[in-house]
Amino acid sequence: MSGKSPAALSVWPVAAAGALGILAGLFLGDYAQVFRPVGKAYVLMLEVAVYPYLICSLLHGLGSMSPAGALKLFRLGWKFYAALWIVTFAVLVALSMGIPAAMPTSLEPRAETAAGPDLLTLLIPSDPFASLSMNYVPAVVLFCFFFGIALQHVREKTELLSVLESIRLTSLQFWNAVVRFAPLAVFALFADLAGTLHLRGLEELSIYFLLLFAGCLILAFWILPACISIFVPVKHTEIVRDLRSAFLIVVATTLSVSALPYISAATERLAKASGADGPDMANVIRTNLAVAYPLGQLGNFFVYLFILFAMFRFGVAPDPSVAVALPLVSLLSGIGSPTSSVDAVDFLSKWLGLPSQTTALYVSLMTLTRYGQVVVSVAGFAFLSFGVTLAYGGKLQLRWRRLSWVLIAPAAILALCIVGARGFGAWLLDDSPDPYLALALDPALTRGVAVSVDAPAKAPVVTETRVLARIQRSGELRVGYNDNIMPFCYRNAAGELVGYDVAHAYQLARDLNVALAFVRFDWGNLASDLKSGRIDIAMAGVYVTDERLLDLTVSTPYFQSPLALFMPRQRAQGFKTRSDLLERSGLRIGVYDSPVLVPRLKRTFPNAEIVTTLEYRNGALPDFARIDAALWTLVQAKALAVSNPDLIAVAPADAGNPYLFAYIMPPGADEFSKFVNYWLELKKADGFERRQREYWIDLLPPIPPEPRWSVLRNMLGFHRKAEADR
């Protein structure tokens, strides 16, 4: 029908190239990055060939059809699209049962977020070529769809259709030439992946990986081929075999659009074998497959599974109404090319109030997950192409006896995956240590810094009144700390002093090129310790207050957090708004004897009875039999709730301004203050502050600073030899 077939791919050369690439990556480690340009160039060359093929196929196919034929095609097609979406989301909903229920660590008012991706820009192109360059494939397909409909009504279109067909055949010819180098590209891409992928932190994501790959493989190689075999007189194993080249090319490139020529050729063979090879059938196949590309991109719909996992990962529980609407919203936002799934995650995370780093987490995981996602997308394209083509040709014959084979075996495998994921998740949660107590300072940060904790204090250099000059003269930075301020300053399971502010203290001492001395202070003596020179700067989650602004030197605030109450989880619903709490009689709120927290509690909840407690820490929590809740900042209360799952932090709406955190210095330390403020800006600019915030506050795994393990580097010591030769 087409006059030109795509070059077939053989399994063994591609598989051998992939295996060799993985071995090369394990041997070379980060040195395997030299292969990255080869793999990237191959993917770009395929895009150069396939996108013109996609555009011209849709324009030529739809423009060559009669309006009645096009109407018939879309009237028949929607049933297959609906069936495909229902089957896919039935599997996704089943898989989601393997994700443990989210245990929120906090309840807080929804913040206003930036607008998500512009849906109209994604769907309606003002410039189709610009949309193509930005990978807005739905916009390009929609443009070609309407342009093709208009072309049906043009009388003199033979020459234009001939040009479109020539471009399509030329693109296919170019595509055939590029595909022949698939083994080389597979070697380069797999070597780069195996050499640079860091496995640290992936164990926490293993539940998501297990469910995603199980769902992709079951859908791609069992459920969808078996569904196709219901209306096609071919066994599902033969369908998988016929799509072998399509699966191979997308695994090689992670580019689902590269499979379209193979699926088109397989559909033409099926139509011919079924007797549905009429003169208009080639146009039907091309038109339907081009439309199926954005609508049948099943891999994108797995964002539904990721969002549910992200809710568990970040402790966000959705409202029941949102949970019901999530499959439909995931479907609508997932339509498009594979990269548009990033926009879908961005939109869904903002809609559900997930943390801002949700999208970044999804993008980082795409290094692995895209392989499963593009494979299942190929099966979706084939389902739509085979089914709609046979329905249009009047050769569709349903074989309902095969339905049991479609349902029973995959259902059993899915059930095993779900049970396995739930069991593994329960073991992982029970076996995992307290997240905050397991954190430690980066050895690269502490290496080379002379440090002491609570060592006998040296006599202050009283002859030097300027704090910065005194630090440089003495060669020591005296940092005041209080180790009850998790996650800013506390002791981990090993008894080490750690936290967000402790990491900053090490970096400040390193940048000043001085020794670091941690000196403990009590809140009641903070001002006197600073004025006497006992400490040079307090770096331990210290709040900004009017008194400290007037009496001491305060840096630019580096963090802010709203007021919060924490209490046993079952009490949380009664603390969502300040107005409700003001009307509540007999309210008892605990707070430790803090010169900042106690006055704030009196101002915010004047009707509450104040119950003084000890400082909050693990193992010494307030007695909740005596109080309804305890007051703290949200960031600190959330950290306590993470370490104590029976607790939850609630930030009541309309509870006033947030707390500001800053570093506190002695009065008159203007020169040192200017230095610290400028230093804070530099740490934000170079990414240090972001890395510490993500690690200590957001509990994200750190980006490994060291190159990944490899035979060449770690066993043969190649990097040491290279450094010695310099």
Q: Looking at the structure, tell me whether residues 540 and 470 fall in a common domain.
A: yes
pLDDT range class, residue 711, cuts 50, 70, 90: confident
> Does residue 300 lie within any of the structural domains?
yes
Phi, psi of 180 (to 5 degrees): -60, -20
For residue 20, CA distances in Å to 26, 43, 249, 575 come to 10, 19, 17, 59
Residue type for 241, please? R
263 and 138 housed in the same domain: yes
Higher pLDDT, 269 or 413: 269
* CATH number, residue 80: 1.10.3860.10
Distance from chain centroid for Cα 128: 29
- The pLDDT value recorded for residue 65 is 82
Q: Is residue 436 part of a domain?
A: no
Inter-CA distances, 321 with 90, 234, 304, 326, Å: 18, 42, 15, 9
Same domain as 155, residue 194: yes
> Do 288 and 389 fall into the same domain?
yes
Residue where one domain finishes, among candidates 385, 405, 431: 431
Token pair 């009645």 is found at 68
Q: What is the pLDDT of residue 425?
A: 66
Any idea what the Cα angle at residue 247 is, between residues 246 and 249, rounded to 5°?
65
pTM summary value: 0.78
- When pLDDT is averaged across residues 515-528 and rounded to a whole number, the result is 92
Tell me the C-alpha distance between 343 and 233, whole Å.
Answer: 39
pLDDT higher than 80, residue 279: no
Provide the token pair at 242: 């016929």
Q: What is the mean pLDDT of residues 28-55?
A: 82
Candidate from 88-97, 103-112, 400-409 with smallest mean pLDDT: 400-409
3-state secondary structure (DSSP) of residue 103: coil
CATH number of the CATH domain containing 588: 3.40.190.10
Positive or negative: CA dihedral 630, 633, 634, 635 = negative
Is 16 contained in some domain? no
Residue 679 inside a domain? The answer is yes
pLDDT at 130: 54
Q: Are residues 535 and 651 both part of a single domain? A: no
Can you give the pLDDT at residue 381? 93
Q: Are residues 373 and 474 in the same domain?
A: no
Residue 112 has pLDDT above 70, yes or no: no
Burial 44-74 (b: 16+ CB within 10 A, else e): ebbbebbbbbbbbbbbbbbbbbeeebbeebe
Name the residue with tokens 């006033």: 656
Residue that terminates a domain, selected from 604, 636, 661 = 661
Give the tens place of pLDDT for each residue, 642-679.
888 889 999 998 888 899 999 999 999 999 999 999 99
Residue 723 lies in a domain: no
Query: How far apart are the C-alpha atoms of 521 and 503, rounded to whole Å?
Result: 18
Position 475 confidence tier, pLDDT thresholds 50, 70, 90: very high
Domain co-membership, 89 together with 154 = yes
Residue of 560, 566, 526, 555 lying closest to 680 (CA atoms):
555
Local confidence band at 693 (pLDDT 50, 70, 90 cut-offs): very high
Q: Is 216 inside any structural domain? A: yes
Give the HSE-up count for residue 378: Cα atoms under 13 Å, Cβ half-sphere.
Answer: 34
pLDDT score, position 229 = 85
> Residue 329's pLDDT is what?
83
Asked if the model's pLDDT at residue 582 lies above 50, the reply is yes
Q: Are residues 243 and 292 in the same domain?
A: yes
Tell whether 281 and 376 lie within a shared domain.
Answer: yes
Instruction: Give 505's pLDDT tier (boundaries 50, 70, 90).
Output: very high
Quick one: pLDDT band at residue 706, thresholds 50, 70, 90?
low
Contact 359, 394 (CB under 8 A): no
Whether 105 and 184 share a structural domain: yes
Residue recorded with tokens 């709120």: 589
How is the beta sheet containing 106-107 ordered, strand by strand? Answer: 106-107, 647-650, 563-568, 629-633, 588-592, 609-613
The 10 Å CB-count burial string (b at 16+, else e) for 483-511 is bbbbbbbbbbeeeebbbbbbbbbbbbbbe
How is residue 473 written in tokens? 């003269």
Starting at the edge strand found earlier in the chain, the sheet holding 484-485 runs 484-485, 489-491, 497-498
Average pLDDT, the chain: 83
**Does residue 615 sit within a domain?**
yes
Kindly state whether residues 480 and 421 are assigned to the same domain: no
- Per mean pLDDT, which range of 18-22, 122-126, 205-209, 353-357 is the poorest? 122-126
- Domain of 336, in residue numbers: 33-431
Residue 412 and residue 382 in one domain: yes
pLDDT higher than 60, residue 1: no
Give pLDDT, residue 481. Answer: 96
Residue that terminates a domain, selected from 373, 406, 431: 431
CB 252 within 8 A of CB 14: yes
Helices (H) and strands (E) in the chain, counts: 30, 17
Instruction: Look at the chain and report how many structural domains it folds into.
Output: 3
**What's the average model confidence in pLDDT over 205-223?**
89
Q: With respect to residue 11, please indicate whether it lies within any of the assigned structural domains.
A: no
692-702 burial: b if 16+ Cβ within 10 Å, else e: bbbbbbebbbe
